[in-house]
């Protein structure tokens, strides 16, 4: 199944975002320097905005807030002078910025639990349909598994979720994650271990609960 493109339709909107970045630049260097910096940032945005959106979604940000959070990530990236190749990959550098921004955002929204709402589950179902599931049974199974994965990820502590997503889903090395997040490699291994255990237990629990609920629901939704 293909990854959902969370920012479809927005990847070519960089001209507007460029003006936002230019206005937000506190240093206000000369125009040519700003434009050169923003062109580099525009390339970074086009190449990695969807990765940032996926990462933000997977560590529990509400779907409705993802686009604004992605824009904030690239504003911060611009203020930091853009990406400089010094060992870390651009994706892990952006993930570190996103992790801090989402953490701040979550602290301001503690009343929200980040688990898929019914409307978000419907969105997930439409994404699976777009990926061309071969029949109704395969569609239902894929949709249920996607929802279970999202809900299990939402149960992880944010610091564990970040390491888990970068390693297990985005395929970054522990050394790369440690360098970018500013952690000892041993801490990354420890968080990954606990995240795997917590995710496995949560996924199994959520799947069992869903299966029990399905078993007790009459086919067709009618009266037994």
The one-digit pLDDT tens for each residue of the chain (224 residues) are 334 434 544 444 545 555 545 554 555 455 444 444 555 778 889 989 999 998 888 877 788 899 999 999 999 988 887 776 665 678 878 888 888 888 777 766 654 444 444 445 455 455 444 444 455 555 566 667 777 887 888 888 878 888 998 898 878 899 988 987 888 999 999 999 999 999 999 999 998 888 887 776 555 555 55
DSSP 8-state class, residue 109? T
Tokens linked to 127: 């994404």
Q: Which pLDDT value is given to residue 39?
A: 58
Q: Tokens representing 55?
A: 């990462």
End-to-end CA separation in angstroms for the chain = 36
The pLDDT assigned to 14 comes to 46
Residue 133's pLDDT is 45
Could you give the domains of the chain?
A: 14-107 (1.10.1740.10), 118-221 (1.10.10.10)
> Cα(62)–Cα(69) distance, rounded to whole angstroms?
10
Give the residue carrying structure tokens 């651009």: 90
Provide the token pair at 114: 């980040």
pLDDT at 159: 83
Predicted local confidence at residue 59, as pLDDT: 79
Look at the pTM and tell me if it is higher than 0.75: no
Distance CA 171, CA 29 (A): 38
Helix (H) / strand (E) containing 193:
helix 185-215
At 141 the pLDDT is 63
Task: Give CA–CA dist 74/52, Å, rounded.
Answer: 9
Is-contact 155 202, C-beta < 8 A?
A: yes
> How far apart (Å, rounded) are the C-alpha atoms in residues 103 and 37?
27
Return the DSSP state at 173. Answer: -
Burial of 167 (0-12, 13-18, 19+ CB in 10 A): buried
Quick check: 38 and 22 in contact, CB under 8 A? yes
pLDDT (0 to 100) of residue 116: 42
Q: What is the C-alpha to C-alpha distance for residues 52 and 6, in angstroms, rounded to an integer?
A: 10
């Amino acid at each position: 199944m293909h990854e959902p493109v969370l920012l479809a339709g927005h990847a070519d909107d960089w001209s507007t975002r460029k003006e936002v970045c230019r206005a937000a630049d506190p240093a206000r260097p000369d125009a040519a320097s700003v434009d050169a910096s923003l062109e580099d940032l525009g390339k970074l945005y086009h190449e990695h905005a969807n990765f940032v959106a996926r990462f933000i979604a997977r560590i529990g940000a509400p779907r409705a807030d993802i686009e604004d959070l992605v824009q904030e990530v690239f504003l911060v990236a611009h203020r930091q002078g853009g990406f400089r190749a010094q060992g870390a990959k651009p994706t892990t550098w952006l993930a570190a910025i996103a992790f801090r921004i989402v953490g701040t955002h979550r602290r301001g929204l503690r009343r929200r639990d980040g688990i898929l709402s019914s409307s978000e589950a419907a969105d997930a179902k439409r994404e699976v349909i777009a990926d061309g599931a071969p029949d109704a049974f395969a569609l239902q199974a894929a949709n249920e598994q996607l929802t279970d994965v999202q809900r299990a990820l939402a149960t992880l502590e944010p610091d564990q979720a970040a390491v888990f997503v970068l390693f297990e889903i985005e395929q970054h090395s522990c050394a790369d994650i440690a360098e970018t997040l500013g952690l000892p490699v041993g801490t990354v291994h420890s968080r990954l271990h606990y995240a795997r255990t917590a995710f496995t237990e949560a996924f199994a629990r959520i799947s069992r609960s869903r299966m029990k609920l399905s078993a007790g629901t009459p086919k067709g939704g009618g009266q037994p």
